[in-house]
Copies of this chain bind each other. A is one copy, B any other.
Amino acid sequence: MAITIYDVARDANVSMATVSRVVNGNQNVKPSTRRKVLESIERLGYRPNAVARGLASKKTTTVGVIVPDISTSFYGELSRGIADIATMYEYNIILSNSDERSERELELLVDHLGKQVDGIIFMSDSVSEEVREEMSRAPVPIVLAGTIDTEEQFATVNIDYEQAAYESVVKLIENGHKEIVFITGPLSRDINRVHKKAGYERALKEADITIREEFMIEMEDTYDAAYESWEKIQQLTVQPTAFFAVNSTLAVGVLNGVRDAGHSVPDDYEIICYEHSNLTRIVRPQLTAAVVPLYDIGAVAMRLLTKLMNEEEVEEKQIQLPFHFAERDSLS
């Protein structure tokens, strides 16, 4: 049996309450008894039981993190930002993968809440109705990181994806392009449909460029799908001269498809994308991209959550972080 607070109390000749005060840094303890207690703790090797503490205090200093897939660099980077700030504020993290399946997200929400987490960071590509309801009922604060809430109901941390898309496409247009293909993951995702596609279209409209339906190349969100999309792109009735991709994985897939087919980037085709990983710097040519500050989004989301859990006043619950462009070689 492990050493309990009671053993320490007896050993130090004080009450449990005093030991508790010492352990929790309460100032109302005479220095000499504090020393005595500390000495007993040390000698007995006492470690507070966080579960008992959690039951008594109704705080677990644990937050739930629900993420589609921790093995992707996108969510890995985001999660690292979350974890670092969590550590800073002495929270532990319960991390679970949802694979973006709404039912699974629901289960995880209930599961984490059952574990009495003090707050939740939620990441996904869309917030389903059932998930929204469950989150609305949650007794603890929830922050969405890198995740769109179309209803603007929850606290969120993002960049202005629409604006980033717009500026990306403007760069292409300024380079003389008129036939620009939009390389996108599933348009069922709010972020692709409501934000990125919208920015793309705004730029084209503003430049009086025809928006072609066949230029919306929608695919599964994988490198291989993007690589193979080159097949489809070749069949287009109007041939494009540039690509705007919603993330670096898709961009690299298209890049390799184009290059393996014997074409040159940026001579034959120019490419711009959102940057979600260092892939953009590793491929040749290196890709010009709108850099999404994933680590920071995670960090700010966690910081916001600590404030919410602390019931501090927050001025703005929908945070937009700045983004910037990394000018590289896929655009001349």
Chain A interface (Cβ < 8 Å from any Cβ of B): 2, 47-52, 54-55, 60, 62, 65, 69-73, 76-77, 79-80, 83-84, 87, 92-97, 110-116, 139, 223, 252, 256, 259-260, 278-279, 281-284, 295
Contact = CB atoms under 8 A, between A and B. Distances in A.
Given A2-B139, A223-B278, A115 B284 contact: no
Contact of A50 (B47, B48, B114): B114
A83 B70 contact: yes
A69 B80 CA distance: 8
Q: How many copies does the complex hold?
A: 2
A95 B70 CA distance: 11
Contact of A73 (B51, B73, B111): B73
A77 B71 contact: yes
A83 B55 contact: no
A70 B279 CA distance: 17
9 contacts: A49-B55, A49-B114, A49-B116, A51-B116, A70-B70, A92-B111, A95-B95, A223-B278, A256-B284
Nearest to A80: B71
Nearest to A112: B92
B62 A115 contact: yes
Given A97-B80, A115-B92, A52 B55 contact: yes
A276 to B, nearest CB: 12
A83 B77 CA distance: 17
B110 A83 contact: no
Contacts of A111: 92
Given A76-B70, A139-B2, A282-B283, A115 B50 contact: yes
Contact of A55 (B55, B62, B79, B295): B55
Given A2-B139, A115-B51, A73 B70 contact: no
A60 B71 contact: no
Contacts of A282: 223, 252, 256, 279, 282-283
A110 B50 CA distance: 11
A92 B83 contact: no
